[in-house]
Structure 1
Amino acid sequence: MSTPDRLVEATRELLWERGYVGTSPRAIQQQAGVGQGSMYHHFAGKPDLALAALVRTAAELREAAGSVLDGPGSAYERISAYLLRERDVLRGCPVGRLTMDPEIVKSGELRAPVEETIAWLRARLTGIVQEGLDAGEFRPGLVPEEIAATVVATVQGGYVLARASGSPAAFDSAVRGLLALLAPGTPTT
């Protein structure tokens, strides 16, 4: 792996574990096994390196989610596959967790990959819900944008619940609850 790649990968890992504020240039250098000169030869500083790491993490997340959401099956089956896909629940979302980091939120440049990824996911889910409505799979009256927001909120909130309890059971429970509400044939109240 090249030095810039080692630096980006180290930064990705540290951002996921510690957030931006808790990730120092020294920690990045130690994790990557490079010296200060190498880091600043390839990147202007911590913000530049963090941006490269965020862009890569966001791209990987979109690729992983897209492979499930664009896969075979009905709208419900694809949403279910997305919700039930393998995740490291107790670590949380490597992108969503950064919305809690004040330095990421304050920086439009660092926040952009996070915002773009969440917007992409919501748009993709909105389209799938609309497909399900058009096919008569979901009950009439569902608002695709609201269901997409609910799916994203369930995943992100499920991470929080799991981390707070120290168990993935809370995440799994939230996912099962949402899938039960979305299941074709679920009566309206």
Structure 2
Amino acid sequence: MSTPERLIESTRELLWERGYVGTSPKAIQQRAGAGQGSMYHHFSGKPDLALTAIRRTAEEMRAKAEQQFGGPGTAVERITAYLRRERDVLKGCPVGRLTQDPDVMADPALRAPVDETFVWLRGRLTEVLAEGVARGELAAALDPAATAATVVAVLQGGYVLARAADSTAPFEQAVDGVLGLLTAQSA
């Protein structure tokens, strides 16, 4: 892996583990096995490197989600695949955790990829649900946009509840609950 890649990946890991303030340039360099000169040769500073890392994390999250959303099956089957896919629940969502970081949220540049990711996620879920309604898989009265917002809120809330309990059970229960509601809307 090249030095810029090691720096980006190290920053991604540290942002997920420690947040923006807890991610010092020295910690990034140590984890990446790179010197200060290398870091500042490739990036103008911590904000530039953090932005690159956040964008990479957001792109990866969207790509993983699209694997399920664009896959075969009914709308509910695709959403089920998305919600039940392998995740590190107790670490939380790598993008969702950034919303709890006041320094990320206060910086419009760092905040933008976080916001764009959640806008994309709600929009993509809305599309999948609308397809399900159009194909007669889901009740015609289902509001795809409101339901998509609910699915995202349940997912992010499930991470929070799991971390608070130090158990994946609350996350799994939240996913079971929202899938039960969706299944009840199946035509």
Question: What amino acid is aligned across from residue 174 of structure 1 in structure 2?
Answer: A
SS in structure 2 of the partner of residue 7 of structure 1: helix
Q: Which residue of 2 aligns with 1:71?
A: 71
CA contact (8 A) 2:137 2:186 kept: no
Q: 1:12 and 1:185 mapped to 2: Cα distance?
A: 38
Relative distance call for 1:62 and 1:185 in structure 2 (3 A) is: closer
Provide TM-score, normalisation by structure 2.
0.97
Q: 1:42 and 1:185 mapped to 2: Cα distance?
A: 51
1:94 aligns with 2:94: yes
* Pairwise CA distance, 1:142: 1.6
* Pairwise CA distance, 1:177: 0.4
* Pairwise CA distance, 1:139: 2.0
1:166-185 equivalences in 2 (<5 Å): 166-184=166-184
Q: Which residue of 2 aligns with 1:7?
A: 7
Q: Which residue of 2 aligns with 1:37?
A: 37
1:122-161 equivalences in 2 (<5 Å): 122-161=122-161
* Pairwise CA distance, 1:140: 2.8
Q: Size of the alignment, in residue pairs?
A: 187
Q: 1:184 and 1:173 mapped to 2: Cα distance?
A: 16
SS in structure 1 of the partner of residue 181 of structure 2: helix
% identical aligned pairs: 64
Q: Which residue of 2 aligns with 1:49?
A: 49
Relative distance call for 1:186 and 1:125 in structure 2 (3 A) is: closer
Q: Which residue of 2 aligns with 1:82?
A: 82
SS in structure 1 of the partner of residue 34 of structure 2: coil
Q: CA RMSD for the aligned pairs?
A: 1.2
Q: 1:140 and 1:176 mapped to 2: Cα distance?
A: 23
Provide TM-score, normalisation by structure 1.
0.96
Q: Which runs of 5+ in 2 are unaligned?
A: none
Q: 2:138 and 2:87 mapped to 1: Cα distance?
A: 26
